[in-house]
Structure 1
Amino acid sequence: MMKLLNLWCGLLAAAVISVGAEELPYKADNVSAKGSGKVAVNGREIHLKIDDPRGTSGVRIAPPGKGGVWDMSNYKVLAADIENLSKDRQMRLVMFISNGSWPNKDFKESYVGIALNPGEKRTLRMELPHAKRFHFPKGVPAPAAIDTTKVKAVEFYMQWPFEPKKPGLVDCRISNLRLEEPGAVKAAPEPFFPFIDRYGQFVHDEWPAKIHSDADLVRNLQEEEKELAASKRPAEWNRFGGWKNGPQLEATGNFRVAKYDGKWWMVDPEGRLFFSHGMDVLTTSGNAIRCAGRPEWFAFPVGNEKEIAFNRRNLQIKYGKEDYEPDFFRTVSRRLEHWGFNSIGDWGDFRLIALGKTPYTMQLTDYDWKMPRVGKSNLKFYDVYDPRYVAKMRTLIPDLAEKHPEVLRSLTDPMCIGYFIDNELNFGNRKPLELIRAVLGSPEKQYIKREFIGDLKRKYHTIHKLNKAWGTEYANWNAMLRSTEVPKKQTDAYRADGRAFQEKTIDRYFQICRDTVKSVAPHRLYLGCRFISTDSVIPELSAASKKYCDVLTVNIYAHSPANLGAATFPDMPVLIGEFHFGVLDRGMYSPGLCPVGVDQNDRATAYTRFLQGALLHPQIVGAHWFQYRDQPLTGRGDGERYQIGFVDVADTPYPEICRASREVGENMYQYRMKGEAKNQMK
């Protein structure tokens, strides 16, 4: 194992390297470009340019010597200074460490990212995911970690690309790659059990604002009540949170979208420009932790309870009553304004919406797993030709309105921005002709399969002509219908037919959803289906959005949306439906899908940079944070256990990010209108 040596003798070393830090040794020969990355090495500085973000384009830095490794096991932090050399473009970048090659199983927790404004230089820090720190007992959900005694690479690249090819998309200088905070790395505690206290917090760590008693919860509420009472609404806002002092457009009494001075905007019911600065999952529910069969996990008797929703217990203590919800939602409503939010994003509780203080969006259906899907595939997509699906969508809003008065009220409520239908579908575009393979593999009674074969009949007339074009040997059309085999050889005709039907199917989905909204509420915005970021730039998906949606909504788990787009990306309004950032300084062990630095100050800065990138993008009309509350310590049903909330499990706000969001809310209209990237929002 190679011993870390300080190989850099530059005169500036003492000025830029923190006390106790140790430079990570490498030579120019160990630096290699990846994908479209262009790399120049000058001593300890690496100049990186990326024109095409795909193919994990970037730079790979390896230890010196054939088969060399770095031993990082005695340090807490890996750091590098990153400088954005662009004069006019915000950039994003992630730093990734590995025991092997990307992608591999140790990917999940071993990266961290940054967004930089033009000309900005900051330090990117990663808290190293030491295996011994996260060596939890069997059965306890633990974060992915790596063997930090044998690190084989540090890489910088653009993760999950949604940007177009563009010269100098990333143009940056990477310098002072180093290890910081030497000393014994904290190992997993022994004994480990119990590890969850009566408030749902990790027993073995301490951090600012950790709850130690019921009195702490009550005192927090009392102190926050004073803070909220003294808080004033941002001066730039009208009653909807639109730009009170900005341009006056036509007032229609409803939210709409319009292009003004080269940028897309939402327009509020009074005709004022509106940027939707919002928050998702504003509910009382917080995924419970199962305790049945796990009494050793908990530092208190769990009795016969099968699961515990700690956030509910904490709120009952905090408000001094079991029926705390009315008081809680009044607090949340005041928090939103105090934190600079003018919108309720997806999954907002109807009781919060009913207060009438904040404009809101509404999810009409979040993927209905009971509806007919495409055969036996794993695609999260419907058989949109099935009469059962069509019938449900035709009366979706009336059916919901009959069950939920809030849905009925939304049809005439000027506070209602619009409706989402579904979330993060998989249309079968992520792999070549994935949808068509699923269709052909479906049983003969599947409506989507019958529709596809019907189209082929109308084009080819005879099975003989189809077989000749596809290189297949179906005996007749019925044989093709019964078959669940996918042609091994994919001819040009097969691919063309597959693409044509895929586009037709996508078009049909969006048309049905558009009609679902507009046939009942023509004055409400249809906000789309909330794409994942890389789907949003697929031409047939974005084209259908342009044709049918008022707004294209995309969930972006990246450190900046500033360069969102593609050569085929339509000129239309875009709403960011989800984004978040997390760190590991508050007793939790997953920072979410976008790790940023080592503390809450890094998270606050990341929030500001993300919103700056969104505000300066001419198409982005809003950004909604996911989510209001941290996820449970040991995870929700699908395993997510992210430190991504504005509040923790004890309903304690994170002041750093709350201050950052307030600054955004106060200054977002002037910032967007001026159109110049500055580090400060003011």
Structure 2
Amino acid sequence: MKSLEYLLPLMIMLAAATRDPTPPDNRLENPGFEETVGNEPVAWQKVIDPDTRNCEIGVTRQGARSGKHAVRIAQVWGKNRSQAGIKSSRQVPVDPGTTYIFSFWYRTVSTEYSLPFMANVRVYRKNHEPFLFSRRKISSSPEWRQVQILLEQLPADAVSAEVAFAVSMRTRGEVLIDDVVLKKASQKDIESLEEWRRQDLPAVTRNAAKVRLSPADNFRLAEADGVWWLIRPDGKPTWSIGTMGRYPNEERSSPSMRKWVLERYPDETDYRKKLYGQIVDWGFNSFDGWTDDQYGEIIEQRYLKGDTYLPMFKVLSLSRDIEPELCARDLHGRVRSGSHAFPDPFNPHWRTHATQKAASSIQAFRNKPWLAGWFVDNEIEFMDLFRFIWADYSGKQFVSDLENKYKRIEELNKAWSSKYAAYRFESFAGILTKKPEPAAWDDPLFVDFTAFERRMVKEYVDFTYDLVKRADPSRLVISSRINLGPMQDIHRTIDLWSKFDLIAMNIYPQNLQYGLSSGELAVLETLHKSTGKPLIISEWGTSAIDSGLYNLDEDAQGRPLDWSWNEVVRTQGERADIYEACITQFASLGYVVGAHWFTTMDVDTKIRRANRGILDTNHQPYAPLVSSMKEVHARLKDRMNLPD
């Protein structure tokens, strides 16, 4: 009997080690992955896209957060943003009128990108196709970290849901998931989640009063005490707080907005002057890159009279909407991302197109002191670029580079042959016929293909920078406005972007918390450290459900639910708080010289509807957002000692 007494504490410890730590009202089966069949967790199933060639998915018995097991997704090699992960294999019944909380714990190991995986919730509906209700990019974390996501305002015909975790990037690292919960949210849960979402705002310590340069006829960049500044023509430093100057024509805005404008401002010039004053009243001090050319006339008049003015940035879009034959292509002749496709930088016809586009766009603004700089492109797609080397001119250049390296085709065959494939090319020209492709990181082809990827990016950077600098020598030449989509691949070429005077980043926060996540901030830090150049946030924004622009049922005009749905928050009040948090974070970063909000007016056109504006579809300001903008802009200008 005494021996049993000694065993009892041990038995209790063992039971505690395997007990499910998730709450009893959790609706998911096997949420801690403790029940297994072989290496597979019960009630969960793998989800692997056909384009995912390699991955490791299953239960790991090392380093679980609780119990004995966690799920591990690792060593993913795919293409075309293919996904590899797991999902709950049994749909969980849900009530459309109920609010739920989806939470989980995770940690990451050696992932190449700071937003390495996604957490998804798919809702099944009675009268419609299944709907990806929530998709959030999750920040890397070497330590176990919990994420909580509120699921509310489900579709009226929602009947069930499933949760999933997916890696959609090529990585040699791993993601571990444990203790997943999907449950009804009590008021206490909602209050706790709201507290978790609130982050302390960073201090803004930069001081413009410490910096003075001699006057010049252009905007410049300067660094002082580790802080970067945008320098005005009068030699005074500033920090660009920008948004868009537009006119609400039929292509861009709703009928109700156009009606409001035409009734009050039949002359477009009068309207633009009115909006100019409104933007100044909201506390902005710059026009962003998408601003209509006509606002330049207003700026010019004010500049020549010696009045304060809003400087302007402009997007050249040297590669936007180019013909497919001018774009980078894969082995099947496919182009990546349509209007955002990366060009074939060796193609002389693209170079001619870009030269003509630059000349026509720059002509009216050349040597204008109030024009801060030119963005060469917007959101061109360079993800998987090492696979898109087979366009006519780039393909021939690639083969020429291989011939210069290996000299003899027998040497290339020997170097490339491996467990993945044996090569017996009879000539270098035969490579253009077969168009091979790397199969994994240790495939010998990967070295040559990624080396040529760098060659393509360098050719693009050098050509676009030199083209614009020749056309308008005194203006800043700013990189293509990089977005999060291809960022997971930029680590192979990021140093090459340093030729640009300024690096541009378009970033739309995931809004899991108020402000940018640690992963989003790490993206900005990586861009700066790897290029040594300052950054400008060329687009950012957030949206709210209460705008009425996110109808989950069919739209009367057949428009799809906008992609910004995955980042929406509940109310304009929340949107206002997020504005304050994000712009304060941007201003606190010594390498960021400005942030431009997208956009002035809500998007409500024949093809798209989205809550992106400061003004709603009836041209009325969103009061909470405008109040926050005015207050935080005044506070930041005061803290930074910005000149008028």
Q: TM-score range by the shorter chain?
A: 0.5 to 0.7
Q: Is the 8 A contact 2:101 2:181 kept in 1?
A: no
Instruction: Trace 1:119-198 onto structure 2 (pairs within 5 A).
Output: 125-130=150-155, 132=157, 148-153=158-163, 178-179=184-185
**What SS is found at the alignment partner of 2:452?**
helix
C-alpha deviation, 1:551, in angstroms: 0.9
C-alpha deviation, 1:658, in angstroms: 1.4
**What SS is found at the alignment partner of 1:519?**
helix
Q: Is the 8 A contact 2:288 2:596 kept in 1?
A: yes
Are positions 1:377 and 2:323 aligned together? no
**What SS is found at the alignment partner of 2:595?**
strand
Q: Corresponding residue for 1:630? A: 602
Report the TM-score, using the length of structure 2 for normalisation. Answer: 0.66
Are positions 1:97 and 2:126 aligned together? no
Q: Corresponding residue for 1:587? A: 548
The one-letter amino acid paired with 1:562 is L
The one-letter amino acid paired with 2:413 is N
Q: Corresponding residue for 2:470? A: 519
Distance 1:154 1:508, change over 3 A: closer
C-alpha separation between the residues in 2 aligned to 1:504 and 1:351?
Answer: 38
The one-letter amino acid paired with 2:335 is N
Are positions 1:354 and 2:297 aligned together? yes
Deviations 1:494-550 (A, max 9, x none): 22221221111110111111111211322211111111125347134421111x111
**What SS is found at the alignment partner of 2:522?**
coil
Q: Is the 8 A contact 1:315 1:650 kept in 2?
A: no
Are positions 1:487 and 2:487 aligned together? no
C-alpha separation between the residues in 2 aligned to 1:462 and 1:23?
Answer: 64
Instruction: Trace 1:281-680 onto structure 2 (pairs within 5 A).
Output: 282-287=246-251, 309-317=255-263, 319=264, 322-323=266-267, 325-356=268-299, 357-365=309-317, 367-370=320-323, 372-375=326-329, 376-379=333-336, 380-394=341-355, 396-401=357-362, 407-408=363-364, 410-427=365-382, 430-431=383-384, 433-436=386-389, 438-439=390-391, 446-470=392-416, 471-481=422-432, 483=433, 485-487=434-436, 492-536=443-487, 538-546=490-498, 548-559=499-510, 560=516, 561-564=520-523, 565-566=525-526, 569-589=530-550, 590=561, 592-593=563-564, 595-632=567-604, 636-637=606-607, 640-669=608-637
C-alpha separation between the residues in 1 aligned to 2:118 and 2:426?
Answer: 54
Q: In terms of mean alpha carbon deviation, does 501-510 or 461-470 score higher?
A: 461-470
Deviations 1:376-399 (A, max 9, x none): 321302121122223344454433
C-alpha separation between the residues in 1 aligned to 2:493 and 2:548?
Answer: 40
Q: Is the 8 A contact 2:385 2:453 kept in 1?
A: no
Structure 1's unaligned 5+ residue stretches are 1-6, 10-21, 43-51, 84-90, 116-120, 133-147, 182-241, 290-307, 402-406, 440-445, 675-682
**What SS is found at the alignment partner of 2:221?**
strand
C-alpha separation between the residues in 1 aligned to 2:477 and 2:632?
Answer: 26
Q: CA RMSD in A?
A: 4.9
**What SS is found at the alignment partner of 1:533?**
coil
Q: Is the 8 A contact 1:75 1:179 kept in 2?
A: no
Distance 1:352 1:124, change over 3 A: farther
C-alpha deviation, 1:580, in angstroms: 1.8
C-alpha deviation, 1:334, in angstroms: 1.2
Deviations 1:81-103 (A, max 9, x none): 999xxxxxxx9999753359xxx
Q: Is the 8 A contact 1:246 1:272 kept in 2?
A: no
Q: Corresponding residue for 2:234? A: 270
C-alpha deviation, 1:154, in angstroms: 8.1
Q: Is the 8 A contact 1:627 1:645 kept in 2?
A: yes
C-alpha separation between the residues in 1 aligned to 2:164 and 2:491?
Answer: 34
C-alpha deviation, 1:662, in angstroms: 1.8
C-alpha deviation, 1:651, in angstroms: 1.2
Distance 1:94 1:469, change over 3 A: closer
Deviations 1:421-452 (A, max 9, x none): 1211122xx2373223x34xxxxxx2222222
**What SS is found at the alignment partner of 2:298?**
coil
C-alpha deviation, 1:278, in angstroms: 1.3
Residue in structure 2 matching 1:73, options 95, 104, 112: 95
Q: Is the 8 A contact 1:160 1:558 kept in 2?
A: no
The one-letter amino acid paired with 1:369 is I
Distance 1:433 1:335, change over 3 A: same
C-alpha separation between the residues in 1 aligned to 2:86 and 2:378?
Answer: 38
The one-letter amino acid paired with 1:569 is S
C-alpha separation between the residues in 1 aligned to 2:64 and 2:322?
Answer: 47
C-alpha deviation, 1:486, in angstroms: 2.3
Q: Is the 8 A contact 2:358 2:468 kept in 1?
A: yes
**What SS is found at the alignment partner of 2:400?**
helix
Q: Is the 8 A contact 2:122 2:133 kept in 1?
A: no
Report the TM-score, using the length of structure 1 for normalisation. Answer: 0.63
Distance 1:154 1:385, change over 3 A: closer
Deviations 1:351-370 (A, max 9, x none): 12321131110112351413
C-alpha separation between the residues in 2 aligned to 1:499 and 1:108?
Answer: 34
**What SS is found at the alignment partner of 1:459?**
helix
Deviations 1:647-668 (A, max 9, x none): 1222111111112222232122
Instruction: Trace 1:30-49 onto structure 2 (pairs within 5 A).
Output: none
Distance 1:663 1:176, change over 3 A: farther
The one-letter amino acid paired with 1:500 is A
C-alpha deviation, 1:268, in angstroms: 1.9
C-alpha separation between the residues in 2 aligned to 1:503 and 1:61?
Answer: 34
C-alpha separation between the residues in 2 aligned to 1:128 and 1:477?
Answer: 59
C-alpha separation between the residues in 2 aligned to 1:542 and 1:462?
Answer: 32
Q: Is the 8 A contact 1:160 1:534 kept in 2?
A: no
Q: Is the 8 A contact 1:342 1:358 kept in 2?
A: yes
Distance 1:673 1:151, change over 3 A: farther
Distance 1:154 1:247, change over 3 A: same
C-alpha separation between the residues in 1 aligned to 2:630 and 2:138?
Answer: 21
The one-letter amino acid paired with 2:155 is H
The one-letter amino acid paired with 1:423 is N
Q: Is the 8 A contact 1:314 1:651 kept in 2?
A: yes
The one-letter amino acid paired with 1:662 is K
Distance 1:244 1:498, change over 3 A: closer
Identity score, percent: 20
Q: In terms of mean alpha carbon deviation, does 367-376 or 549-558 score higher?
A: 367-376
Tell me how many residue pairs correspond in the alignment.
511
Q: Corresponding residue for 1:234? A: none
